[in-house]
Amino acid sequence: MGIALLVIGLLAFAGGVTLLVFPLHGFVKSLVKNVFDKKDWLFIGLGFLCLLLSGGLLAGAMMSLGAWPIKGGDAAMAIIGLALFFFCFPLLWCAFYLRYWKTDMNSDLLKWVRLTIYVTIPLSLCVFLLFTEGIAPYLSYPLVSGFVIDGNGFHWAHAGESFSGGLHVAWYGVIMICGALISYFVSDHQFYKKYHKHGLLDGTLIVGFLAGVIGARIWYVVGNWHGDGAGGPNFSQLVANGYWYEIFAIWEGGLTIIGGAVAGIICGALFLYFTKKEVDIRWAIDTVVPTILLAQALGRWGNYFNCEVYGASTSMDAWSFLPSIILNQMHIANSGYPMAEGMMHVPLFLIESLVNIGGYFILAYGVPAIWRKYRPAGSLCGCYMIWYGIVRMIMEPLRDPSFNMGADGQWSFWNSLGYIAIGIGVIGAFALFDFIKAKKTSKEAK
C-alpha cells in the first residue's frame, strides 16, 4: 500500500510540475502576452490540483511505509498539512517567478501576484508546521542530518555520529547553498530593476560563496587553534603531531559565519568591481550585503539538524509554544543522546534566524528610509557589520558554554567587538572618501 501511494504521489507531483512549467515559462518569455489565456489557466489549475493530491498521497505513503501507529487526528494533520504545503509553496514560487521575471504583466495580474507572495509565505509556513505536528510524535530523534554513501552502501546520518571515508552529504551544507541562492535571487532582482539584466551576479555568487567557505574555515581554525570547550579539534596539537591536513577537513564541521561573511564580502566585491565595470560598486554593496542576513537566517537551521550551537539547558514547559518537532530535537544533546526528561536546550538557532530576518528588513528598508541625508553609498555594509556584531555579542552569553570558540571561550565575543569596530570604520571611510571627493570637485570648479 505504501509503495503504491509513493509511486502515485511522485507521478502526481511530476505531472503537476510539468503542467505549471510550460504555461508559466511560455508566458514569461512571450513578448506579446501580458495576461494568461483560458488554456494557460486550465493547465495551471490542473497543475496545482495534481500537486495538492501528491502532497496528501506522499504523507499517506510516509505513514504507511513507516508503519506508524498513528492516531486519526495526527494522520489528518499530516495529510492535510502536506497537501496544502504542496499547494501553497509552489504557488509562492510561481508568483515569485512571475513577479521578478515578467516585467510587462497586466497591472491587475501584477497586484494579484504581489498579494499571492505576501499571503503564501506565512501560509506555507503554517501548513508545513501543521504537517510536522502530525508526524512529530512518530519520528526518531535526532532527526536525519544527511546521508553517507560508503562501502556499506547508502545510509542516513544523524547528529553525534562520525564517519570515515565515503561520500558524506550533510543537510548543513545543502542549507548553506540554499541560503546563498536566496541572497542571490533577491539581489539579482534589484540589479535587474537598475540595469535591466539578469545574471550580473552569477560569477560573484560563486566567488563570494567559495571565499566565504574558505574564510569561515580559516576563522574557525584560528579561533580554535588551541581547542575549545566543546572538545573540538586542537589544531596546534594536530599540526605538531603531523596531522596538518585536518585544517582542511571542512566535511567534519567547523565553520564560522563571521569569518565567512568578511571573506565573502571582500572577494565578492573585488570580483564584481573588476569584472563588471558598468556596475556602481558601492550601490551593489548596499544592495547585496544586507541579503547576507537572509542567507544566515536559513543557514542557522543547519545547527538545528546537527544539534549544535544551542543555548543553556531549560525546561521544555517554558518553550511549549514551539512546534513539537523543534522541542523534540532540542531535547537531544550534541552527542546524539537525549537529555533528562522534560529538559531541552534553548533554541538559539531559531532566535538568531528570526533576528536575522528582521535585520534584513531593517537594513534594506529601514535604514535607507530613516538615514536619507548624508548617508554615504556603501554604508549598509558597515551597518550590517555593526548589526551582526551586536547580535552576536548578545547571543554569545546565551550559548551553552561548551560551544563558545577559543580555549577561554571568549573568541566570538571579541570578534563581535571587532565586527562593530570594522562596521564603524567602513561607514567612516566611505563618508571621508565622499568628503574629500566633494572638496576636490569644489576646488576644480573654482
Residue 249 has pLDDT above 80, yes or no: no
3-state SS assignment for residue 1 = coil
| Mean of pLDDT values over 345-359 | 93
Is residue 432 exposed (0-12), middle (13-18) or buried (19+ Cβ within 10 Å)? exposed
The confidence score (pLDDT) of residue 2 equals 82
Identify which has the larger pLDDT, 165 or 28: 28
Band (123; pLDDT cuts 50, 70, 90): very high
Give CA–CA dist 220/210, Å, rounded.
15
pLDDT band for 191, please (50, 70, 90 cuts): very high
Structural domain boundaries in the chain: 2-138, 157-445
Q: Can you tell me which residue has the cell 512518530?
A: 138
Q: How confident is the model at residue 176 (pLDDT cuts 50, 70, 90)?
A: confident
Q: Do the Cβ atoms of 256 and 219 come closer than 8 Å?
A: yes
Q: Does residue 336 have a pLDDT over 90?
A: no
Range with lowest mean pLDDT among 1-10, 162-171, 401-410: 401-410
Q: What's the whole-model pTM score?
A: 0.86
Q: Is the dihedral of CA 118, 124, 130, 133 positive or negative?
A: negative
Rounded to whole angstroms, the Cα distance separating 354 from 332 reads 22
